[in-house]
Amino acid sequence: MSLEIYGIVEKTTFYRLGIIPVEVKRDHSELISRASQLKGKRVGLELIENFENVEVPEITIPEIYKNLHENLKSKNEIVFLDDRELYEKCQGLLRRYDSERNVIEKFKLHIEIDYISLCKRNEEIIRKINQNDLDAAFIGGAHAYDFHKKHKDKGRVFLEVPSNLEEVAEKIDRAFLTAIDDQMLDDLLDLLPSLVYRIYDVEELPEKQEFEEEVSKFPAIERLYNLISKGRFEPEIEKKPDYIGSWSLSILDIPLRGFFEVYLDEQLIKDCVGDARFDGKIDEKNARFSKKYFKSFSLFGGPIKEEIYYESLSPIKIGSLRGIAGIYHTKGRIKGRPFILFRYSEEGVQKLLNLSSEDVCKSIF
């Protein structure tokens, strides 16, 4: 039997009015049926060993993995694909995140949590699949899709897709419209049909966009993690940027999220949502350039698809940093937003990563 990997939808949450979460029952019967047919096999599960005895209140193990383990353990050899050390590290970070009040430090913790829980766990799961001579594996859908993209020749990948999404969403809307009080709403939501998942070979999947978006977050998160831990998006590249800056300066945002690097010789701009072609000029006192993304990640909704135009307006001084402040816009919906730009230095990177938007806006305006 060649390796078969099953990508699982671990949780689907519907939102009423975009903000009210509604949990629905989930029907993985087709997946369980496939698992039930496995006997005498070596099967990988996205679980940590002795998961039953691990109390991690901040991290919930999806029920589907517990059900699969119960179904498979008596007839097959189970290989645990997840990592206890990463689980425990996430637990500590989540506790710090919950108690942190500084917006910038909280965002950095969010990045580190995502890096460990998504990127590092993804690496560990794929490494263990490749090293353990498995017959089958049951892992999260994004991990399975990433495995397919990186190791097409090593196994056949199947992915779960909800088959009655629109029906369930319609009945949720109807429940909210019909209910005259909270008790009636709870009763109507209890009667919702289960969300039924069907299994497709990844090559025959009718819609791949959601999986593509999930997988494209991995390199974006890794870039941000590299930035806060090593000062560069891609520290393995010897060439350092010529300029650094930020395009996220609204009072409700932080410069770290919009941090970008400019490489003049390569005519390239890098940030956490992609790579863009740089066209224009920058010197110590002026900047006038445009950028157009040619590589995109789905983090924070992904990059703006239009060409974006940047123009300096005035010099700016933040502590010992001297640079340029200006406005960027598109020919469409963005009419004018502030940006800042400085010549690259390690000191400048650390200064920019720890600035609040309020401090920047005071310096500009």
45-56: b (≥16 Cβ within 10 Å) or e: bbbbeebeeeee
Contact 309, 285 (CB under 8 A): no
Distance CA 47, CA 69 (A): 9
Quickly state the pLDDT bin for 18 (edges 50, 70, 90).
Answer: low
**Residues 30 and 197 sit within 8 Å (Cβ to Cβ):** yes
242 in Cβ contact with 343 (< 8 Å) = yes
Give residue 143's pLDDT.
Answer: 94
Higher pLDDT, 214 or 186: 214
Could you tell me the two tokens for 296?
């995109």
Task: Tell me whether strands 77-80 and 42-45 are parallel, antiparallel or unpaired.
Answer: parallel
Band (pLDDT 50/70/90 cuts) for residue 358 is confident
106-115: pLDDT as tens digits:
999 999 999 9
Question: Would you state the pLDDT for residue 319?
Answer: 81
CA distance 231 to 346: 7
Does the pTM of the predicted model rise above 0.85? yes
Q: What tens digit of pLDDT does each residue of 297-328 get?
A: 999 888 989 999 999 999 988 888 889 999 99
Q: How far apart are CA 195 and CA 168, in angstroms?
A: 7
Q: How confident is the model over 184-196, as pLDDT tens digits?
A: 888 888 888 889 9
Of 236 and 357, the structure prediction assigns the larger pLDDT to 236
Read off the pLDDT of each residue in 165-191 and give the average, rounded to a whole number: 86
Q: Take residue 363 and report the two structure tokens written for it.
A: 């310096």
- Residue 295: predicted pLDDT: 94
* pLDDT per position as a tens digit, 236-263: 999 999 999 999 887 778 999 999 999 9
Mean pLDDT, range 148-161, rounded to an integer? 90
Q: What percent of the chain has pLDDT over 90?
A: 59
pLDDT at 327: 93
Quick one: pLDDT band at residue 9, thresholds 50, 70, 90?
confident
Angstrom distance (rounded) from CA 339 to CA 351: 15
- pLDDT at residue 364 greater than cutoff 70: no
Predicted confidence at residue 264, as pLDDT, reads 96
Instruction: Show the tokens assigned to 254.
Output: 């932080």
In terms of Cα–Cα distance, which of 8, 11, 20, 9 is closest to 189? 20
361 or 285, which is more confident: 285
* pLDDT at residue 12, as a whole number: 73
According to the model, what pLDDT value does residue 84 have? 86
Top-ranked range on mean pLDDT: pick from 160-169, 213-222, 246-255: 213-222
Predicted confidence (pLDDT) per residue in 56-100, tens digit: 555 678 889 999 999 999 999 999 999 888 888 888 899 899 999
pLDDT band at 52 (very low <50, low <70, confident <90, very high): confident
Q: What are the CA-CA distances from residue 360 to residues 77, 254, 269, 319, 346 (Å)?
A: 58, 9, 21, 11, 19
Distance CA 231, CA 223 (A): 10
Radius of gyration of the chain (CA): 24
Helix locations, 132-208, DSSP H:
141-150, 165-178, 182-190
- In sequence order, which ranges of 139-296 are alpha helices (DSSP H)? 141-150, 165-178, 182-190, 209-230
> Side chain identity at 268, as an amino acid letter?
L
Instruction: Say how far apart CA 219 and CA 214 lie, in whole Å.
Output: 10
Q: What is the mean pLDDT of the chain?
A: 89
